[in-house]
Amino acid sequence: MLIENKGIKTDTFYVPPFELSVGEIVVLHLFNGQHFYQTEMFLKDIFGGKTKDENVVVHKSLTFVEHFIEPKLRRLFYPVTVGEYLKKNANFDNPYATKIYEIDWINENTKVNTLSGNPRRQLSLYATLSKTNNIVFDLVAQDSKGAEETYEIVKDVVKNGGSAILLDAFEDLKNDCTKYIELQWAQE
């Protein structure tokens, strides 16, 4: 068992109990709206072991698949390339480090800021998966096809000994996961 959640309770929401073990994918439905980002960041810090919660035992920290953000001046004068991003963020001893190059038009010199949501998100996913197979991720900034592709990549990793928690805004994957948990909003 990697994560043992006995119920996360805040002033605004409650996450019902669940456990995450190797070979499982938990979809945690946070609902869509203005609260999503703040709730997501709070939970990723707990599951990543950065923030302690008395009701959560983290036996093995999960790694959040970060979104690529480039400072404006850097983007204007010296944009980050895919090769540079991978050198900084990937483990080249793992085949996932170069998996992004399977997309025909992406190479080491492709500027990351020219990538649309789907390949940009897959770039950060592959870099993370080159270092660990235990992740927390989301499908933000992806269209339905990209979200489906990303989810299939993660399902394959989970099937081969990984584990994942998807922090999701929609309930589309309710029937395509090991466990489906809905966040409950506190009554006012």
Query: What is the pLDDT, as a whole number, of residue 33?
Result: 87
- Average model confidence (pLDDT) across the chain: 95
Give the strand order in the sheet containing 3-5. 18-20, 3-5, 56-58
Query: What is the pLDDT, as a whole number, of residue 75?
Result: 87
State whether the Cα torsion 171-100-95-78 is positive or negative.
Answer: negative
- Give the predicted TM-score (pTM) of the model: 0.95
Reported confidence tier of residue 188, pLDDT bands at 50, 70, 90: low
Burial (CB count within 10 angstroms: exposed 0-12, middle 13-18, buried 19+), residue 90: buried
Tens of pLDDT along 102-140?
Answer: 999 999 999 999 999 999 999 999 999 999 999 999 999
Query: What is the pLDDT, as a whole number, of residue 120?
Result: 96
Amino acid at 38: Q
Q: Is the pLDDT of residue 181 over 80?
A: yes
Q: Nearest 10 degrees: CA dihedral of 139, 107, 71, 169?
A: 0
Tens of pLDDT along 17-60?
Answer: 999 999 999 999 999 988 999 999 999 999 999 999 999 999 99
Tens of pLDDT along 86-102?
Answer: 999 999 999 999 999 99
Tens of pLDDT along 10-27?
Answer: 999 999 999 999 999 999
Which residues, other chains included, contact 63 with Cβ-Cβ below 8 Å and sequence gap of 6+?
Answer: 48, 128, 131, 132, 134, 135, 136
Query: What is the pLDDT, as a whole number, of residue 186?
Result: 81
